[in-house]
Amino acid sequence: MANEQEEGISLKVFVDKEKNRVIFAECDNDFVDILLSFLTNPMGTIVTLARKHSLPMGISCMNNLYTSVENIDSQHFRNKASRTMLLSPHNGSESHCMNLRLKIIDEPRRFFLCSEECIASKFRHWSYYRDAICECGKAMCDEITPPEEAKPAEGGGVFVKATNKFIISGDLQVKVLCTTTILSLLSKSGVMDGRTIEKRTFNLGVKEVLGLLMCSFVSRTPLAETLLTDKPVPDQSNSNFVLGYRGRTAESHIKEETKNQEQDIFVKLYVSKSKKMVCYAEAKTDFVNLIFSFLTIPLGHVVKHVNNDGSFKGCINRFYKSVQDLDEQCFNSSDHKEILVCPRVAPGFSYENSLLGIEEAAPPACYYFSYRQDKYLLSSTKCHGRSYKVGPIHLTAMFSKSHDKDGESRGGFLKEPNLFTVTDNLVIKPITANSVLSVLNELKVPFSDIEERTVHVGKQEALRLLLSSFVSESALTNAFIK
């Protein structure tokens, strides 16, 4: 596996020599599995990978959210683990992604426990993150190797069957290899003479595959942009993207049923009347928890709602639609397809007032065994073929942001109460007089031009804001004004 990781993935690309463009690529299940795994990655992970490999980021609002989490003082978070969850979110399908031939994320999985005395006596938890607070009040700092996950059958694929061959179009649509598909793509490309087609073979490593993903956010021809040219990633802005519904003002929402009031979020927007844009929002912890949670949302959950193809510059939505349209027989099972088209957040990453309606993946089964002093292990099954001093003890997932030292259940990533400024492009800071003035001065907006509006944020508005943060550099304006 290590050698395969170094060698990369071979990709056959069919190029129109006259126009220097990719007509399609031919590949096996290994490359398709890697592409499909993109849909399961949280947005925060995508930001991390872009930074690590020095790749242009076509979704600047997400980058701003990530930077805001880095810059806000730790005293504003529930605990250390709460911030780490946003900066290094786990993948709800990571047990599958560990088996990819080319691992996009090469960091080993880690679990953390409290002391053995704590586990054996009363509290029986594991956590994804160091410094999560156990119910006993201590930080969970004992690192341990997670239980091994089942691997695909010999010769089997991760998501799709290993016997399949695929065609990838120039705009990243995935189709089963067959004559009909080839002829259709040739016809759409306008190629009339096969002599103008040249087959080229590329060896793709992690950086090239990630470059393909980043390019798909802002280009309709990511294969050509990544493989055939040294052109920079196209303009990142999708500012003309139009979403299908608007936010509602607080006044228009008075008749909402009271049973939904526990989920109501109200935000003050400070709007430039002349520019018809949001300068910034003044928001409580509930709203900031919501937009910080965007970093934990899988890419596939975001993209499945991007259905306005005409004004979206990228083609990642076409990629998603092609996966949705693939025959279920191509996948290892219907569950494997469901993982991709309806990806879930990792266990413990949702919270009580999330509004986005995304489900959590089930935590892995985890049993604790101790067989001599300071020697213990985790297993995914109760039965283990050796004698042991303690165990098997079934451990439950400790959701890192859910408890403070007093053991009380919490929601969200931030402490309450707090007030923040949120700029149009989602730069978030604890509110100060200076943070307000600096935003207005930077935008060159006179104080007399500012209008205060209060907007309600429900499920539709939360989704609209999520999409705006993905496709636009003016997330608040697109979500609540346009």
What is the mean pLDDT of each successive set of 10 residues along the chain, which is 482 residues long?
63 93 95 96 95 84 96 92 92 90 84 79 80 84 78 76 95 96 93 90 94 92 87 50 42 38 81 96 96 96 77 86 96 95 90 80 83 66 66 77 47 89 97 94 94 95 93 93 85
Residue 465's closest CA among 340, 316, 292? Answer: 292
Number of Cβ within 10 Å of residue 439's Cβ equals: 19
Cα atoms found within 13 Å of the Cα of residue 77, Cβ hemisphere only: 23
Those residues with Cβ within 8 angstroms of residue 224's Cβ, 6 or more apart along the chain or in another chain = 20, 21, 22, 170
Give me the residue label for tokens 């997670």. 146
Long-range contacts formed by 255-261: CB under 8 A, 24+ apart: 256/456, 256/458, 260/458
pLDDT score at 242: 46
Query: How far, in Å, CA of 208 to CA of 202, rounded?
Result: 10
pLDDT score at 153: 60
Those residues with Cβ within 8 angstroms of residue 433's Cβ, 6 or more apart along the chain or in another chain = none
pTM score, whole prediction: 0.88
Q: Where are the domains of the chain?
A: 2-480
Give me the residue label for tokens 């259940």. 409
Query: How far, in Å, CA of 325 to CA of 388, rounded?
Result: 50
111 strand-pairing partners: 144
To which H or E segment does residue 142 belong? Answer: strand 142-144
Quote the tokens at residue 55.
């790749």
pLDDT score at 353: 61
Quote the tokens at residue 335.
């569950």
